[in-house]
Structure formats: C-alpha cells, structure tokens
Amino acid sequence: MIQKNFYKNIGLGLSLSFLFNFGLTPELTLKAQEVKSSQGNFRLEKLDQAQKIDRSQLYARGGQFKVGYAPLENQKYQPIEEVLIESQFFETLAATLNQVFILPSDINIVFAECGEINAFYSPDNQAIIMCYELIEDFAIFSAQYAATDEEWIKSTLGGTMYVFVHELGHALIHVLELPVVGREEDAVDQLAVIIASEAGEFGELMAIVPATQYQLRGSQADARNVPYWDEHSLDLQRYYQIICLFYGSNPSKYRTLATLAQLPGDRAQKCPAEYQKLYANWTQLLQPHVRVDFSSQY
C-alpha cells in the first residue's frame, strides 16, 4: 500500500541513516572530507537570499535533493560541520528522499551560519537552510539530560531532524505547489510528527526533544511578551500538538508518554482520529509526487 510505504520508507531512511552513519561508527574522526560535486554536493560561496532561481529552466530537467555547506566564518562551528560531512548523514537521507519524490526542480539542503538559532526555507533559492546555531542549541539542551555520549548524539540529531522535516514540509509545499488550508506552520509540524512516528526509536527522539523545548519555553514565557501575532502556534500549543499526534499514531504504545506529558483525557480521546485524518490528508497531497517504481519495491 503506497500510503504506508511512503512514510515508512522516509522514517526507515532516517533511522537507518543514523544507525549506519552514527550508531555503528566506532568514532568520528572530526576530519572534514572535501565535498565533491561528483557526490551530488556543492559549496556555496555566498548565501545570497536575493538571488532568484529560473524555475522554468529547472522544471524541464527535473530535480533532486542536494546537500551543501556554506563557508564558515566562525570556526567554532567547524566540529559540527566536520561531523556532518564525515558521517554523510544528510547525504544518505537526501538519497532516500530522491528515491521517494518526483521533483520538478532541485531542493538544496544547506548548512550555514545564520547569526541566530534558526532554520528556514528560502523560496528564492529553493533551499532548506539548517543553521549551525540551531544544532549547537540542541546539543547544549541535550547535554543537560543525556547520560551517555550516545544519548547526547541521538538527542541532538533527533531534535535537528524534527526541524529539518518541518522545513522539508515548507519546501515540498512550495516546489510541488501543494494547497494548504489553515496555517502552513501547523501543517508542516503535522508532517514532521507523521514521519517521526514511522522512524522507530529515533523518531521518538525526533518528537520528544523539540516537544520538551516547547514545553519549557512555554512554561517560562511571560504572557506580556508572547508573540500572539506570530505565524507559529504558541509553544505550549505546539507541545501538546506533538504529544497528541504522536500518541495518536499508536495509543497502546505511547499511553505512558501521554500520561507523563499530562495530555488531558478528553483531548487524548480525539488524538487517534486526528492523526489518521492528517495522515490521510498529507498522503492525498503527496501521493501524486511519489515515484511509481518506488511503491512497487515494498
């Protein structure tokens, strides 16, 4: 069934990328490898947000997900860049996504300094920008709770991956011209949880780490300074939405999670149906852009 295979393959790609590129690696040498164009990578001399892409030319040849690393100015981020390049985690993930989606033009995945803790999708460059400051923030946050180095790496990457899939949702909506009813930020949060729910143990970290951050930030926020005008839902709303949908993906398995997260019972009752509805909605949007030969492989 293409619907189930589609999400499971991305989720499996996430978990296997971690297992083989991080989990089974005795140690990462922290020595950066040169990013070669023959490997489908590229280097950006400058991240120019004003540069426009001629999409009409790109549509004629089709597209792929490609990974690149913008030149560093602050060398404190060099260890993060080296680990990413050495592990080839995102290159492996990009290869999985290329096996799943039919793209009219390229979607670039770029790691860069942003001057702030952030990640975003740039429509002008058709690029998902993953900021080193964001990865550093997840690493600092995860260090407070991880008992071992392995847990620390998993937690850091799990949080980073949730944000990546969120931005992937923005990229797919833009490049595939998908219709969105409601707030786009909520819609891509939902996609991130759906994919996380199919990524096994690693997917649990993908959901729990950002949810915990939202819960802590929301609990500490001063109501006078809450940006009610923002396009994102409030932090506590995003927290409960992640918990609700993740619980709804498998209520028997995640009953304890819902209890520990203090998800109200009347809300919990609605979560399985809500998850199934959103799962079906996203499937209907994405299914026309999934490769036919992919669906026949599983």
pLDDT value at position 217? 65
Percent of the chain with pLDDT over 70: 71
pLDDT of 51 higher than 70 = no
- Residue 115 pLDDT greater than 90, yes or no: yes
The model scores a pTM over 0.95: no
Q: What is the pLDDT of residue 225?
A: 56
Q: What is the pLDDT of residue 30?
A: 31
Which H or E element spans position 67?
A: strand 65-69
- 9 pLDDT more than 80: no
| Of 24-28, 53-57, 129-133, the least confident | 24-28
Q: What DSSP character marks residue 272?
A: H
136 within 8 A of 77, measured Cβ to Cβ: yes
The answer to whether position 207 is within a domain reads yes
- Closest by Cα among 61, 64, 59, 62 to 100: 64
Q: Is residue 187 part of a domain?
A: yes
Task: Supply angle C-alpha 60, 62, 66, rounded to 5.
Answer: 135
Question: What would the pLDDT profile of 126-142 be if each residue is shown by its tens digit?
Answer: 999 999 999 999 898 88
Residue 96 within a domain: yes
pLDDT at 87: 86
Where is average pLDDT lowest: 25-39, 68-82, 194-208, 233-247?
25-39
Residue among 176, 204, 139, 179 at smallest CA distance from 288: 176
Structural domain contains residue 297: no
Q: Which domain holds residue 100?
A: 2-222+231-289
Q: Angle, to 10 degrees, between the axis of helix 2-18 and the axis of helix 271-286?
A: 100
Please give the tally of structural domains in the chain.
1
